[in-house]
A and B are shown apart, each in its own frame.
Chain A
Amino acid sequence: MTARSRRAPGSRMAVAGVPLAGRGVQRQKPHRVIELVNRVSVALESVVDPDVAAWTVLVAFTAGEGLGFNRAYFLLSEGDEMRGTFGVGPRSQAEAREIWAKLRRDQVTPLESIARPDNATLAIERERSAEILGWLSHRGDVKCAAWRRAFVARPGHPSACVGHWLDTLASRLLVVVPLMAGDRPWGVILADNFVTQAPIYVGTLNAAELLGHALRASVERARLIVRLGEEQRHRAAAEHAGTLIETARSLAHDLKNPLALAGGLAADLAAEPSRDADLLARRLGMVSEAISRAETRLAQLVDGLANRALSSTVEAVEVGGAVARVADVFRPLAFSRGVRLTCYRPARPLIAMASVPSLERCVENLIGNALQALASGAGEIQVAVLATESQVRIEVADSGPPLPAGLRADPFAGGVSTRQGGSGLGLASVRAQIQAMGGQVGYDESQEGWTRFTIVLRRLT
């Protein structure tokens, strides 16, 4: 991703190690610099990865239609170290000739590629410059007298860090573009013409400074976005943990209550045996009912824990695609039963925090239940993925008969099944899994003739 440097028309060569502003030299044509900076700025607007931001600016440094340097490197300050972060350009003269010949042969204009960065290109540059970036990394005081403005350095430069970079790159003329955060160095861009030995002009130096500022702004913005993403993930994890604790409370209560009751009644009967047969039968019935309830809750606990173990990793998921895949799996079965299965989702991606396997199981469960409800004849199942500003909503509606009365109060409570031999834990499991992802479930029959189940997940924008 490099091209040969070209001499900018009307520019004069810079003096090594001395900033040229104010020396009365002719500058690079302003409109060309403005056009380049604009082009880079537009490309950086959509960049959310610091590496892509660095690559974009370094391509502008090295492209023939950009600043035309042979190679360029970006170093970032970390504590007391200036660490090599990204580089663009060949490692040797032979590699330079090879790359430039290929660019000419393929008629590639590197600057055009900054509008559509791709991972493969970045990976090639990352691998190519990894070793040099390691060598360029420098610990210690990186300041020098001319650190405020971009300058051209020559071997023998008094600054230890600049001397280190000159030695490492075996550079005869090295452009140093310092990027400052107040009094402290934030980063630096290094560039040279180690193959062509082309002169460096004051206009080029000024343009390099402008691009350096654009890079810093973009990297800071990308870092902020990354940090916000991490915050969002931490918040989701905290909410996830909160949901688990609340579920554990609920389960402990539901499990311990009947056990304590059964044990208490049994202990009392043992301590004070009743001669009243009816009372004895009633107490034993209560003990039996309490133990049975504990068993049911225990089964739910085991089921819920298994689901949580699988859904413990929530990530950004494109919900429309996941739901459509499940609907596609069910479509042939629905068709064979004379059931029309439609799936609506908007063209734009709808991203939510979820676990893909868990989400798919939940949607499978809801569509499976809908098919079960329509087992007696033809009907329709409508699956839809909708969104509000903060939520992604998955609806599974069927035109079958309404739910049995026993289920309507809370179909997700578990313990009641519409299926022959069913445990009734399917919908309870759906709720447990969705809640484990920080989501909610719902049910309504407000639209006449339709039974609708809903999954609501938190939307990531």
Chain B
Amino acid sequence: MSSSCVLFVDDEAGFLELYRTVFSRLGISVRTAESLGQARQAVAGGGIDAIVLDIRLGDESGLSFLKEINASPARIPVVLSTAYARYQDDVSSWLADGYVIKSSDLTELKATVQRVLEAAR
């Protein structure tokens, strides 16, 4: 997992800082985006092995970005991360490689990211 690069997309700067701290310690190269615009730029730049994507990004929906990623030739695995469990009912969310409910305990998110990265190798 040491050479992997994960893009975290969340409109909450605090979460991005938390992710950067925690996942950097795991040896993961962390990139962050506070909007879908920034996320698209990061993906276009290449080198992303997985994306952790918030669903509600202000007025934007992470699910639309998930569809874009799935439609692109270089399909990058996506882990959805959201505060609201009911988004699992949205069929769009089934396209994701993982689905994690936001929590102060990042154990599940770390495990899911690890699983997704290993599966992509």
B65 within 8 A of A: no
**Segment 1-57 of B: residues with Cβ below 8 Å from A:** 12, 14-15, 17-18, 21-22, 25, 56
Do the beta carbons of A263 and B104 come within 8 Å of each other? yes
Given contacts A253-B56, A268-B22, contact A263 B103 (CB under 8 A): yes
User: Which residue in A249, A252, A255, A268 is a CB contact (below 8 Å) of B21?
Assistant: A268
User: Which residues from A are CB-within-8-Å of B17?
Assistant: 286
Do the beta carbons of A263 and B105 come within 8 Å of each other? yes
User: Which residues from A are CB-within-8-Å of B12?
Assistant: 257, 261
**A248-263 contact mask (Cβ, 8 Å, vs B): 1 or 0:** 0100110111011111
Do the beta carbons of A267 and B104 come within 8 Å of each other? yes
How many angstroms from the CA of A272 to the CA of B102 in the assembled complex?
Answer: 21
**Segment 226-259 of A: residues with Cβ below 8 Å from B:** 249, 252-253, 255-257, 259
B60 CB to nearest A CB, Å? 14
**B43-81 contact mask (Cβ, 8 Å, vs A): 1 or 0:** 000000000000010000000000000000000000000
User: Which residues from B are CB-within-8-Å of A259?
Assistant: 104
Do the beta carbons of A268 and B83 come within 8 Å of each other? no
User: Which residues from B are CB-within-8-Å of A261?
Assistant: 12, 14-15, 18, 104
User: Which residue in A249, A257, A265 is a CB contact (below 8 Å) of B102?
Assistant: A257
Task: Kindly report which residue of chain B lies nearest to residue A245, judged by CB atoms.
Answer: B86
Task: Kindly report which residue of chain B lies nearest to residue A249, judged by CB atoms.
Answer: B84
B82 within 8 A of A: yes
A266 within 8 A of B: yes
B106 within 8 A of A: yes
Most A CB within 10 A of own CB, among B18, B22, B86: B18
User: Which residues from B are CB-within-8-Å of A257?
Assistant: 12, 15, 83, 102
Most A CB within 10 A of own CB, among B14, B56, B82, B83: B14
Residue positions of B touching A, CB distance < 8 A:
12, 14-15, 17-18, 21-22, 25, 56, 82-84, 86, 102-106
| A-B CB proximity, top 9 nearest | A263-B104, A256-B83, A253-B83, A260-B102, A264-B104, A261-B14, A286-B14, A252-B84, A264-B18
Sample (12) of A-B pairs whose CB atoms are under 8 Å apart = A249-B84, A252-B83, A252-B84, A256-B83, A256-B84, A257-B12, A261-B15, A262-B104, A264-B105, A265-B14, A266-B104, A286-B17
Q: A253-B56, A255-B83, A264-B103 are in contact. List 18 more A-B contacts (CB 8 A).
A: A249-B86, A256-B84, A256-B102, A257-B12, A257-B102, A260-B83, A260-B102, A260-B104, A261-B14, A262-B104, A264-B18, A264-B22, A265-B14, A267-B104, A267-B105, A268-B21, A272-B21, A272-B25
